[in-house]
A and B are shown apart, each in its own frame.
Chain A
Amino acid sequence: MIFSLIAHGLVSLAFLFSWVFSPNDEMPAPRAVKVDLVGLPEKQLPPLVQKASPVEEVVPPIKSPEPPPEAPKPPAPKEKDVVKLPDKPKDDRAKKLEAQKKKQDEALRKMEASSAFDKIADDVETERRDKEKLVKGPQVQEGGTSGSLDALQRGSYENLVEEHSKKHWELPKWLSSRSLEATVLVKLDSSGTVIDRKIIKKSGNTLYDNWVLDSVDKASPFPAPPPKFVNRVATEGIVLAFP
């Protein structure tokens, strides 16, 4: 409190001091600077008089006006390391997907071959862990393969379903320009046939939702799920997000 009073007092004193002793009581304002923003010499400009635009009469017919360049185009530099402009896009999405799938299948085979070793390693590991701590409560343990093999199989199946869904996903142009999104939950039986499908997130446009459902119906049967996932795909289902 007291400090604040002192501080205020000091400041007012300073103001008073400067007011009393200032040699010049004018505010030190910067003098206006006239800037020619344009920077073009005025004398070169012909006077801008609108009446002096008798265009039609000053122009006599001429035989062959040399066509002047619209903008001076310097010769293109002959650099060899110029970045090329792109070609028209080709639909290579399907190719990419296929290559990706091949790669994954390859990896899957390798993993399966080595899964026996994995299993041994896993068993040793679980044994060690089991020794270290007692099991608290029930634990779910799936199958005999390793987690990474699981993930690979799942990834591979996901790719198959994605590729398959894309093939049947068509929209009329008049509808595709509106940015709409819908999500569908699809349940499949062991052969991949659709047993249930429903929109879980509507787009807000009934026609769009219908096109989405149509594309799911057209896509049935989907690729058959691997045995491990049959149950999950039939009960939990697969979520397809459009687009």
Chain B
Amino acid sequence: MTMNSGCKISKVFSYFLAASLIGSVLLSSVASASQIYINVGEAKRKESNLALPSLNFMGTGSVNATAAAAGAELYNVIKNDLTVSSLFQMMSQAAYLEDVSKTSLKPKPGDPAGFDFAKWKTVGAEFLIRGGYRILGNETEFEGYLYYVPKGEMIFGKKYKGTSSAGRRIAHSFANDVLKELTGTAGPFLSRLVVASDRDGGGYREIYVMDWDGFGPTKISNHRSVSMSPAWSPDGTKVAYTAFVLRGRSKRRNADMFMFDLPTGKRSLISYRQGFNSGANFDPDNKSMYLTISQGNSPNIYKMRYDGTLEAQLTKGPLGAMNVEPAISPDGQKLAFSSDRARSPMIYIMNADGSSPQRLTFAGVFNSTPSWSPDGKKIAFAGQSENNFDVFIMNADGSGIARVTSARRTNGKMANHEDPTFSPDGRYVMYTSNRTGKSQIYISTIEGTNEYRVTNDNFNYYRPKWSKTLE
């Protein structure tokens, strides 16, 4: 009996314990739910003030003309790269409180002859770059330091060496390192572009390779005809393009595809099927490419090995429809292309083997030239809404279309922006614009800010392609 009642008591007690436990759990969850919780959202992004004073000449004796030119080149290239980067607001040299030529590249008090952080803080600099160079015979040496002024600390410092003609390369390397140190991803300033242009006159269009900033254009074709739609191989050693060339002794011209090997200068004719052999786009496998072949009928997309052997036909009509401008995703899994199978030319996507084609764009009346971001998450294209083309970027599934360009001609009329291509680091997009009356090359961030004009002449440039490697 006693035992029984004792049992009952302990039972009641355990119920009570359980109830109070549940109660306290409930109470605490109520308390946390009542906590005021606010998602602040994306930050406003601002450019940081960068002080980039003149470079110090660190050679012996006085600065001769050669050294001065070398120093100016280093400085100008670094400044241009960092301006295009869109990360910085370049401070005016007039605002500086310190004569850098009288201080070393290192800060006080560690270096008694060094510069004074306080003076850079006063003028509102967030970053300070101090650089110096010397010319030793046929060699250029550059030494650059990046400082974070609010904390008075060095972020990185590095020495670069090269031949006297390597000045631009050294400057681009330093700018790349600045971006790498600050953001974790190197800049694209050693990359190049390939483009078709009429810049050598005669009414011809040839293929040119140049630095991303338009420096040092080199002609790599000489068909004295119309050459077009060049493309980079994944490793940046080859360029495929199409040219209208005469077929043997006949008077007929055909749009044949060529491959040019940059290190050796060797050119080979890789596809000369009747009609169009164009729109080359290299597969990441380094062995094959995608292209459009019309063969007298409707243009369709094929996969072809470098030696010209066809591996597969990836689109099959429908009859009368064009399937052009193949663009393989960076992982080699998906192929974007444009097609007018549904009347208006639109962007489509399918598996790399041609299966499951799917329409991606539904907006506008004419969408063309799809181009993948290096991470495979975005596709840029040229889209026509009213009477002109502009560049747009969307997610790879077709969602989230955002406009990149909207500039007009000086007379207020609409300008065309076409042929987008991503930088190898994915930060920027390059395209052509005819706002000046000529088709010139421009770059902006993928958000459409900080536009930069790459070519500055009176010629036309078509279908620029940014190299896929950072070097």
Contact = CB atoms under 8 A, between A and B. Distances in A.
Contacts, number: 219
B43 A170 contact: yes
Chain A contact surface mostly = loop
Contact of B302 (A38, A50, A87, A229): A38
A111 interface: no
Contacts of A171: 43-46
Interface residues of B, number: 92
B36 interface: yes
A79 B86 CA distance: 39
Contacts of A53: 258, 267-269
A239 B36 contact: yes
B113 to A, nearest CB: 30
B308 to A, nearest CB: 5
Best-buried of A61, A83, A165 by chain B (most CB within 10 Å): A83
Given A55-B267, A70-B228, A174 B40 contact: no
Interface stretch (A20-28, A41-49, A124-132, A190-198): A41-49
A45 B277 CA distance: 12
B183 A63 contact: no
B222 to A, nearest CB: 6
B40 A162 contact: yes
A171 B182 CA distance: 13
Contacts of B35: 236-239
Interface string A52-67: 1101101111111101
A241 B37 CA distance: 8
Contacts of B183: 174-175, 177-178
Contact of B46 (A87, A173, A229, A242): A173
A88 interface: yes
Nearest to A66: B226
Given A65-B204, A174-B48, A79 B365 contact: yes
B140 interface: no
Best-buried of B36, B246, B268, B296 by chain A (most CB within 10 Å): B36
Given A76-B366, A174-B182, A176-B45, A88 B38 contact: no
Interface string B268-294: 110011100011000000000000110
A134 interface: no
Contacts of B308: 48, 50
A239 B279 CA distance: 54
A68 B44 contact: no
Nearest to B178: A174
Contact of B312 (A37, A61, A154, A161): A37
Contacts of A93: 41
Contacts of A152: none
A173 B45 contact: yes
Contacts of A70: 228-229, 278-279, 462-463
Contacts of B362: 83
Interface string A138-159: 0000000000000000100110
A108 interface: no
A79 B385 CA distance: 11
B185 interface: yes
B401 A85 contact: yes
Contacts of A204: none
Contact of B40 (A71, A72, A169, A178): A169
A177 B338 CA distance: 31
A99 B463 CA distance: 45
A65 B390 CA distance: 28
B403 A85 contact: yes
14 contacts: A40-B310, A46-B273, A70-B279, A70-B463, A71-B338, A76-B344, A82-B385, A83-B362, A83-B364, A154-B36, A172-B48, A236-B36, A238-B37, A241-B38
Given A71-B325, A73-B368, 16 more contacts: A44-B295, A46-B272, A53-B258, A55-B223, A56-B222, A58-B248, A63-B203, A64-B203, A76-B344, A79-B365, A166-B41, A171-B45, A172-B48, A176-B43, A233-B36, A241-B38
